[in-house]
């Protein structure tokens, strides 16, 4: 049995999406384009090429790898946006700490 509990980000519903202020969506879209759509396209293409996500889908790693993928798609549009690079560093640090200690953030 694994030492960690599976943590995944919940899917956003259409109703929740409608509650997001349009100004925020407009700002993010102008800065990053539709990178959030690209992340989904990449995952879908990987599945179609036969990539098996079972180990990730059933683990704590599902959340950080998807967060890193999303940041990478943003970097394609805006490579000089420092916060995206810092976010990737932070997600990678969380994974490294888990691999070194067996503890996930917030589950000590």
Q: Would you state the pLDDT for residue 68? A: 93
Question: Would you say the pTM of this structure is higher than 0.95?
Answer: no
DSSP classification of residue 53? -
Domain membership of residue 28 as a residue range: 14-101
Contact 69, 42 (CB under 8 A): yes
When mean pLDDT is compared across 15-19, 68-72, 79-83, the lowest value belongs to: 15-19
Q: Would you state the pLDDT for residue 5? A: 42
- Classified as helix, coil or strand, 2 is coil
How many domains would you assign to the chain? 1
Residue partners of 78: CB distance under 8 A and separation at least 6:
31, 32, 84
Residue 8 is assigned to a structural domain of this protein: no
Contact 63, 8 (CB under 8 A): yes
Residue 75 is assigned to a structural domain of this protein: yes
Q: Would you state the pLDDT for residue 28? A: 66
Residue 55 is assigned to a structural domain of this protein: yes
Burial class (CB in 10 A: 0-12, 13-18, 19+), 43: middle
User: At CA 50, angle to CA 6 and CA 1, rounded to 5?
Assistant: 25
| H or E segment to which residue 60 belongs | none
Residue 70 is assigned to a structural domain of this protein: yes
């Amino acid at each position: 049995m694994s030492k960690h509990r599976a943590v995944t980000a919940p899917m956003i519903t259409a109703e929740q999406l409608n509650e997001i202020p349009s100004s925020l969506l407009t700002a993010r879209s102008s800065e990053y384009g539709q990178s959030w759509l690209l992340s989904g396209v990449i995952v879908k293409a990987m599945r179609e090429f036969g990539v098996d996500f079972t180990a990730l889908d059933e683990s704590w790693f599902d959340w950080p790898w998807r967060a890193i993928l999303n940041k990478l798609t943003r970097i394609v549009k805006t490579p000089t946006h420092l916060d995206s690079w810092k976010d990737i560093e932070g997600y990678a640090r969380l994974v490294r700490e888990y691999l070194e200690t067996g503890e996930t953030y917030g589950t000590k």
